[in-house]
Structure 1
């Protein structure tokens, strides 16, 4: 019993570390996209990022000796590659060119709510009250951050593209959860990233053109996006997703806008408005509520209470 408890505790620590790495790297990706996006078009940036990620993940897959995923995992992997690595990445890159950062974060923040609905229905995870309450609180905090950082430059196209990104995220993570029942986190992430890169190959000509004229710093930023926020962060996400519910893990992504505000403050000198900090705190409270679990009653204790 003590050994099992220790194993569970160790597993929870690993999941927490994986989630922390994912959230921090994804937050840094928003800053990287804003920087590299001045030199690369949305499709070219997505393709370059995914190619770098696929190469890095493929090298690790070979070193670890993991082969092809089983046949049962491929429908989910294809879903991950098409909807999350492909549609989400391109739509987000494109949407950020037609929407201010605050509005983009607000609209994309619908994604975890869509994910909770889809996972509760399709994956039969149910709709725990604490998860729903936490999602509502966290989304409200994200809305406060979005309204405080928006500058009114958003177009209808930007709104539509951010909605497409949110939907792509929800569908992709739902598909990923099904794939993880049959394959490892590394396999699902590697081949999903490769499929996403294949889907973005029509942008190869634009990528070559952009690379020829892009400064070295922008190219390095694109490689950073591929190797860390894509390869490493998507792998640590998949690792955590294989050990928790999609709805609860999806709610954790509301930490990202908070980290984006802080990183923009530290790295870009963009001082956040006080109301943005209040919204960030509210989002963190919502995430904390969504991740709390109902305590399970020990059978022996329940029996003792009943016999009394």
Structure 2
């Protein structure tokens, strides 16, 4: 659940773990979403994460967060942990994976803008260039993966709302991490979101009774890997670098989604898709150049 304190490359390793799990989430959401509705899937995922993180919090004797941490916990918990997951689950039912990845990856741009305006973080030229290059790669991946350009307007709006809530949640979480550990902030944020989604408990129970085992296992996996582990490693990295620089690393996600589809779903990507993935990786490498000194 944590990276070894004092490791010079700890933030980079933590960010890598996060994007790997978050990329796999797109595949699992597709599978679990066939049996679980958006709200029920989000509740099941967050309840799983909250229980797992709660056990670790008890073992590590993580107490009640400081008062100064609560605004960030509440905002990130309600908007990012809760709202983002519902919007993304719903959006992925209405648009193809390429379109969803393209729209959600507006998030890092919003993070850079919001962190500059609200957290007074610098946006160095290398970060701006890296964001531009990676976003171009994301557009290429999104266009190459889109199914003939047929997208639901509601699905596009939902994915855009997911990107907005994701960006606001990241920027809100950054100040909270000054007053608590990554595990503490992540656990309480997940718990806040799970409590907020309790109105879906009845739906979750009914759907779980009829869902195939594979869908339920995917929901549990979403709670363990992409949420409990990945959100904790993200918080660890966020506490050690700027929100804008860390947000840019998530541009690796589309490239990883392409690779995972290739390996696990036998979906061989075309050259157009591969070129976009390479651009995503190149942009992240450029954006991290200035981060090596300060991260």
Query: TM-score, normalization: structure 1?
Result: 0.91
Which of these residues, 70, 73, 77, is aligned with residue 73 of structure 2? 77
Partner in structure 2 of residue 17 of structure 1 = 13
Shift of 1:167: 0.2
Q: How many residues align?
A: 289
Which whole-Å CA distance do the structure 2 matches of 1:158 and 1:22 have between them? 25
Segments of structure 2 that go 5 or more residues without pairing to the other structure are none
Aligned positions of 1:185-196 closer than 5 A: 185-196=182-193
Shift of 1:203: 1.1
Partner in structure 1 of residue 236 of structure 2 = 239
Which whole-Å CA distance do the structure 1 matches of 2:244 and 2:260 have between them? 26
- 1:10-30 deviations in whole A, cap 9, x for unaligned? 533222221111111111111
Larger radius of gyration: 1
Partner in structure 2 of residue 159 of structure 1 = 156
Shift of 1:136: 0.6
Partner in structure 2 of residue 304 of structure 1 = none
Secondary structure of 1:171's aligned partner: helix
Which whole-Å CA distance do the structure 2 matches of 1:143 and 1:221 have between them? 28
Shift of 1:295: 8.8
- 1:57-76 deviations in whole A, cap 9, x for unaligned? 00000000110111110000
Greater shift, 10-19 or 48-57, is seen at: 10-19
**1:258 to 2:258 alignment:** no
Secondary structure of 1:243's aligned partner: coil
Contact 1:82 1:196 in 2 (8 A): yes
- 1:142-187 deviations in whole A, cap 9, x for unaligned? 0000000001231100110011000000000001101001111111
Deviant stretches of 4+, over 3 Å: none
- 1:73-109 deviations in whole A, cap 9, x for unaligned? 0000001101100110000000001111101111111
Partner in structure 1 of residue 59 of structure 2 = 63
Which whole-Å CA distance do the structure 1 matches of 2:176 and 2:137 have between them? 32
Segments of structure 1 that go 5 or more residues without pairing to the other structure are 1-6, 297-308
Which of these residues, 128, 134, 141, is aligned with residue 132 of structure 1? 128
Shift of 1:128: 1.1
Partner in structure 2 of residue 301 of structure 1 = none
**1:38 to 2:34 alignment:** yes
Which whole-Å CA distance do the structure 2 matches of 1:118 and 1:294 have between them? 18
Shift of 1:259: 0.4
Contact 1:98 1:153 in 2 (8 A): no
Which whole-Å CA distance do the structure 2 matches of 1:145 and 1:175 have between them? 29
Partner in structure 2 of residue 200 of structure 1 = 197
Aligned positions of 1:138-153 closer than 5 A: 138-151=134-147, 152-153=149-150
Which whole-Å CA distance do the structure 2 matches of 1:48 and 1:132 have between them? 37
